[in-house]
Amino acid sequence: MTSPLRLSVVVPAHNRAARLRGTLDALLAQQTPAGLGWEVLVVDNGSTDGTLEVFRTMAMRARGRLRYVSEPRLGKSQALNAGIAVARGA
C-alpha cells in the first residue's frame, strides 16, 4: 500500500538536460519521513534539447515518483503554473 501523496515538487526545465539529471538524482536521494508521499513534476517548458530523454531515463529508475508535464508557453511562471495545476500533493 502506498502512502497518501502529500508533497509535490515542481521542477521547471527549459533546455536544461545537462543539469536535469543531477537535480533529479538529488531529489530522489532525499531521506523523507516514513509515510510521506511525494512526487516530482518535471515541467518541460518548450525545450529543444534532450530534456525529455533525460526525464525518461530517470523515470525508469524512480518507481513512479516522476511525472512529466509539457508546457509550450515559454516562461518560468507558465511552467510553474502548469505544474501546480496537475500536482497531486496538498
Q: Output the CATH code of domain 5-27+37-86.
A: 3.90.550.10
Confidence of residue 2 (pLDDT cuts 50, 70, 90): low
Q: What is the pLDDT of residues 34-46, one digit of tens each?
A: 888 999 999 999 9
Phi and psi at residue 7, in whole multiples of 5°?
-140, 130
pTM of the complete model: 0.90
Q: What is the pLDDT of residues 51-80, one digit of tens each?
A: 999 999 999 998 889 999 999 999 999 999
